[in-house]
Amino acid sequence: MSSERLSPHELLRCDGVPAGLRARVLQAGNGRVLRLHLPAARRWHPDVASVVLKHVPDDAAGDHVFWPIAEHDFYVELADDCGVRVPRLYAAERAGTGHGYRLLLEDLAPGGNVHGFLDCTLPEAEQAVEALARLHARAWGKTTDAAYAAIPRHDAASLEAMLSEVRRLRPAFLARVAAAAGDALARALSALLDEFDCGHEPRWQTPETLTHGDFHRGNLIFADDGVAVLDWQAIRVHRGGVDLAFFLCSSLSSAGRRRFERRLLAHYQRALLEQGVGPLELAALMQDYARGLRCCLARAVYVIGSRRLDPAVEAGYCTHGLPRLAAALRDSVRADGG
């Protein structure tokens, strides 16, 4: 076994696993994510026993129709003052000629972080929406500042792309849902797509802010000192209601969401006000939350209809996530008097 210490930049540029290191593949879909375990003799710092190496090549980083992946820019430019705890950045570089990149990050879950669809307890959900409020408050109404110039935006061009893709991929999406979860769910989602016209831009009640884009239990680490947020590949300038909608649908059961939805939205409102955002009416947040649910459905059409997900992840999305999203959308119709 080699006894030479490896610097962060040497690890960052490794195409394989350096001799003498153990590695575990954490993700092999949209790029590759490895956990590297460092023997004591090879650590550049005695407390760094493992790191996370993320390599997203050009073809994966530019694969999103709605936005290119801007995770590299987030970690380099914004992570230190984004309002929430994120993995420490040890090294970063662009990889390739387009949007590809490599990141060497702090390993916040050396024992193995949570994957899949798991539910939050109510205290965890309250901590999570507090973290969202801190993230959103930092950029609330300030997204025209130069600091956010590199972050993709939900604008007229991306809306047109979304509308086109939702229409094109709808048949494939419904067919894949039917195969994975049954015809009844596919019919329900088809009716909701007709009801909402998911390519139509809703009238948002709150300003733009910086959104995580994939805020769910599997990307959160709860500790005594607060919540850490992982996986910033879907970051963009949008409305906070989209993050709230995705979190509540993906990280609470339908019964739990119905029971605690208003309480958690009010908790988010209070947390925003404590961060100096305001005046802010709960009714406006609730309207944007309902509109965010439509955006979640449009996203589901794209990622499932275009086969962008690992098959096991897609199966979980169809059997677990989509029934919850459909229930939340139906509830929002009833709340609006539909």
pLDDT at residue 213 in the model = 94
Domain range enclosing 82: 8-106
In a domain, 40, yes or no: yes
Residues 207 and 280 in one domain: yes
Output the domain CATH number for residue 204: 3.90.1200.10
Residue 140 counted as domain residue: yes
Q: What letters, b where the CB count within 10 A reaches 16 and e where it falls short, cover 165-191? A: bbeebbeebbebbbebbeeebbebbbe
- Same domain, yes or no, for 318 and 207? yes
Tell me if 264 is assigned to some domain. Answer: yes
What amino acid occupies position 34? L
Supply the CATH number for residue 38's domain.
3.30.200.20
Q: Is the same domain home to 169 and 278?
A: yes
| Domain co-membership, 13 together with 135 | no
* Domain shared by 248 and 130, yes or no: yes
> SS in 3 state form for 194-263?
HHHCCCCCCCCCCCCEEECCCCCHHHEEEECCEEEECCCCCCEEECHHHHHHHHHHHHCCHHHHHHHHHH
Domain count, the chain: 2
Question: Do 82 and 138 belong to one domain?
Answer: no
- Residue 263, number of CB atoms within 10 A of its CB: 13
Convert the pLDDT of each residue in 170-200 to its tens digit: 999 999 999 999 999 999 999 999 987 654 5
Among 106, 141, 167, identify where a domain stops.
106
Among 106, 131, 154, give the residue marking a domain's end.
Answer: 106
For residues 207 and 78, state if they share a domain. no
What per-residue confidence (pLDDT) applies to 116?
62
Whether residues 33 and 135 fall in one domain: no
Residue 1 lies in a domain: no
Whole-model pTM?
Answer: 0.92
Q: Is residue 113 part of a domain?
A: no
Are 82 and 145 members of one domain? no
Of 63, 82, 106, which one is at a domain's C-terminal end? 106
Residues 96 and 133 in one domain: no
- Give yes or no: residues 131 and 98 share one domain: no
> pLDDT means per 10 residues in the chain (338 residues)?
77 80 79 88 90 84 61 95 96 82 91 69 97 98 93 82 88 96 97 76 86 94 90 93 97 97 98 94 95 93 84 88 96 73
Q: Is residue 44 part of a domain?
A: yes
Structure tokens at 81: 């003052």
Does 96 share its domain with 132?
no
